[in-house]
Amino acid sequence: MPGLNVPPPERRGPFVGGLVAALCPPGRALAPVQQSVLDAIRTAFRGGVEGDGPGAPLPAVEPLAAADAAAALSATELDLLAHAVAAFELIAHPLDPEVEHHAARYVAQLGVRAPELSICRETARGELALLHADFIRHSWTTEVTLHEGFLHGRLLELARSKAAYYGVGGERHVARRWEALRDRPTGSWGRTVADFYERHRFPFPGEPHGIYEVGAAHDWVHVLCDYGTDPEGEIEVFGFIAGASDDPRAFVNFAFTLALFQNATIDTVGGKKVAIARADTLSEPGATARFADALRRSMDATADVIALDHFAYADLPLDEARARFGIAAKGVPGPGWRD
């Protein structure tokens, strides 16, 4: 089961009860934005439980003691619960140290080892240097970079691509591979990615100031799922990626996205300032519903779409790629990649 999603319908009651109990010290309630996100997710996943059909009021949530949650959920579901607790902590802005301490103790009582909770601890304490280092150390991007660099002999190429990101020279071999997407068939996934870059006037990877090539993998998901490039769209993209991936490092990349666009603890990527970084994105009208719908869509995906060899599918018609990889239609309107 992926590191960011919801369990089967018959286990959602104890799962949500455990989530609320973990996030609410005695006498406390969820922060308004946390409640809004939880309601949006529960609404997006309606059905399958008696009394929880479309149009019915959301059933009340009774907090569930850690021992009872541990008895009701499988080991995989408990791990999923720990990831959900971390995500909901990072949704809070600012993160209350009392909530962080209570959540960490609850997860420990579940018997789950959850290294990603260190991100929440550092967020609550304002330890931003440690927080950034933790993201880099545990991220999917770092792992892929090391794999490609050392095992596939691309270390120098990737280093030059990274330098190009800072405007230092360029890596023409990388740039040519991406620029050649313009020559793929009209309507193909690869040609549409090229259209995405040109429409937004983004330099290609390998060109001066172009995004680092490994980081650019998520742009294929922007196009595949038709998500925009506003802060809400970035949360949609990385929420979808984390939900569709069994790799916990994909969850770390989603947490990094929340740090950029929700709790404002980070405003740089690799030392370069992100112009659209901001706080409280999920408080914007419709943002929670868009995020919840991204999680719903991720459950239908039949592949870990961030980890594909995207260039191998560059000639595939975009509609065919969506059908092949189980990309369901949006259930909530929102900007697409053209917007």
Residues 133-160 pLDDT 10s: 655 555 545 444 444 444 444 555 455 5
Residue 188 pLDDT > 60? yes
Same domain, 153 and 181: yes
Give the tokens for residue 284.
């914007």
Same domain, 196 and 290: yes
Last residue of a domain, one of 126, 158, 184: 126
Task: Write b or e for each residue in 36-57: b if 16 or more Cβ atoms lie within 10 A of its Cβ, otherwise e.
Answer: bbbbbbbebbeeeeeebeeeee
3-state DSSP assignment of residue 93: coil
Domains in the chain: how many in total?
A: 2
pLDDT band (50, 70, 90) for residue 28: very high
Q: Which of 52-56, 172-176, 216-220, 289-293 has the lowest mean pLDDT?
A: 52-56
Residue 178 is predicted with a pLDDT of 96
> Mean pLDDT, to the nearest integer, of 164-173?
63
Last residue of a domain, one of 72, 101, 126: 126
Residue 334 is predicted with a pLDDT of 94
Same domain, 41 and 159: no
Task: Write b or e for each residue in 199-235: b if 16 or more Cβ atoms lie within 10 A of its Cβ, otherwise e.
Answer: eeebbbbbbeebbbbbbbbbbbbbbbbbbbbbbbbbb
Question: DSSP character for 229?
Answer: S
Same domain, 122 and 151: no
Tell me if 257 is assigned to some domain: yes
Same domain, 172 and 316: yes
Q: Which of 185-189, 244-248, 318-322 has the lowest mean pLDDT?
A: 244-248
Same domain, 159 and 300: yes
Q: Report residue 63 CA to chain centroid gap.
A: 26
pLDDT band (50, 70, 90) for residue 265: confident
What is the domain range of residue 119? 9-126
Residue 143 is predicted with a pLDDT of 47
> Mean pLDDT, to the nearest integer, of 103-110?
94
Residue 303 pLDDT > 70? yes
User: Which residue(s) pair with 268 in the sheet?
Assistant: 273
Kindly write down the DSSP assignment for every residue of 257-292, as one continuous string. HHHHHTB-S--EETTEE-TT--B-GGGSTTHHHHHH
Q: What percent of the chain has pLDDT over 90?
A: 60
Residue 150 is predicted with a pLDDT of 40
Same domain, 250 and 294: yes
Residue 215 pLDDT > 80? yes
Tell me if 1 is assigned to some domain: no
Give the tokens for residue 14.
């104890």
Give the tokens for residue 295.
């999680």
Q: What size, in residues, is the chain?
A: 339
> Mean pLDDT, to the nearest integer, of 227-245?
96
Q: How many CA atoms lie within 13 A of 141 on its CB side?
A: 21
Residue reference for tokens 């620029």: 179
Q: What percent of the chain has pLDDT over 70?
A: 82
Q: What is the pTM of this model?
A: 0.88
Same domain, 255 and 309: yes
What lies within 8 Å, CB to CB, of 194 at 6+ separation is: 178, 179, 181, 182, 184
pLDDT band (50, 70, 90) for residue 46: confident
Last residue of a domain, one of 94, 126, 158: 126
Tell me if 131 is assigned to some domain: no
Of residues 53 and 41, more confidence is placed in 41
Same domain, 238 and 320: yes
> Mean pLDDT, to the nearest integer, of 237-257?
88
Same domain, 147 and 108: no
Same domain, 283 and 317: yes
Of residues 49 and 178, more confidence is placed in 178
Same domain, 79 and 219: no
Mean pLDDT score of the chain: 86
- In whole angstroms, what is the distance from residue 46 CA to residue 207 CA? 46
Tell me if 189 is assigned to some domain: yes
> Cβ(164)–Cβ(208) under 8 Å?
yes
Residue 137 is predicted with a pLDDT of 55
Digit-coded pLDDT (tens) for 68-92: 999 999 999 999 999 999 999 999 9
Tell me if 135 is assigned to some domain: no
